[in-house]
A and B are shown apart, each in its own frame.
Chain A
Amino acid sequence: MNASKLSPTEQLAIDAVRAVYAGDINSLQRQTTPDATFWLTGTTPLSGMFLGRGRIIADLFPRLALVFPGGVEIDVRETFSDGREVCLELGLSARTRDGNTYRNSYCYVVGIRDGRGAFLRGYADMVRTAGCVFEVADPHALLAKECV
């Protein structure tokens, strides 16, 4: 991925996703609107809809910090935008709290409003997340768990 080819909108979207996974409150406040939403597919504790920047910070950030104490590395594989929305294909990798190496492929769609991220929607195979991060290997058991 050639960073010099990124449009400002694409860069903003990348920075917003990075801010979430870094648990960076200051950056998130710069990159997103106050009513920004974050949604991640699946039924893991990281999944679900977080309505508003405050909920992202209060509810999601502690969970990410707990399961990925060393942070998350993000590799941007592809990005494109129509100017209002950005599609990001990412590779995420991290060391889990249990010492597992977590790697997964994600697609994020980031909506831009007034020069900031207004929504972030994430798609990935959460079977891998459940098994590696939460050590739940049975999809049936995962579905029985409460969503966020």
Chain B
Amino acid sequence: MSTTEQTAEVARRFFQAIYRFDISAAGALLDDDATWWLAGSSSLSGNYIGKRAIFEDFLPRFGPLYAPVESYFEIKNLFADGELACLEYLGGGETVDGNAYRSFYAYVVLVQNGKVTAIRGYTDLTRALAVLLPATVPVSLSL
């Protein structure tokens, strides 16, 4: 398997695990010093440094928002070049309030030595804030 093929495969498996809430599988693919950056200015956005911060600070923000049912994850496009992968997908699930949440995402994933070392995410957080976190409105819009 070439580096490019491995990068795409690791990125795919990592996000599949995340959307299965399979922390063990996702953690096995994540480097200890990995970073996860989600673009934007809302309470969901930010830069999380290290596996511990990702699993203990970032991802727990989303888990309690979803009902304990299977989440939705559909890859729309995935390609890679060397250590970088670009993943476009439609993701979401049913919220604890019974609302369906879906949003399109683009992620850039850096994979080194078989592990995810950097994740940069881009998505419209409008629906996330309105559906997942209605209590957070108003959001910070300062630049």
Query: Which A residues lie at the B interface, using CB under 8 A?
Result: 41-43, 47, 78, 80-82, 84-85, 87, 89, 101-107, 109, 121, 123-128, 130-132, 137-140, 142-143
Contact = CB atoms under 8 A, between A and B. Distances in A.
Interface stretch (B26-34, B61-69, B120-128): B120-128
Given A80-B81, A105-B39, A142 B86 contact: no
B106 interface: yes
A30 B36 CA distance: 37
Given A85-B79, A123-B105, A140-B130, 16 more contacts: A41-B123, A42-B126, A43-B124, A43-B126, A87-B84, A87-B106, A104-B39, A105-B39, A123-B123, A126-B125, A127-B42, A127-B125, A137-B138, A137-B139, A143-B127, A143-B130
Interface in B81-109: 81-82, 84, 86, 88, 104-106, 108
B59 interface: no
Contacts of B88: 109, 121, 123
Contacts of A143: 126-127, 130
B40 interface: yes
Contacts of A103: 143
B106 A107 contact: yes
A106 B106 CA distance: 10
B140 to A, nearest CB: 9
Nearest to B4: A82
A106 B42 CA distance: 15
10 contacts: A41-B124, A42-B126, A107-B39, A121-B88, A124-B40, A124-B124, A130-B126, A139-B125, A139-B126, A139-B137
Given A138-B138, A142-B126, A128 B108 contact: no
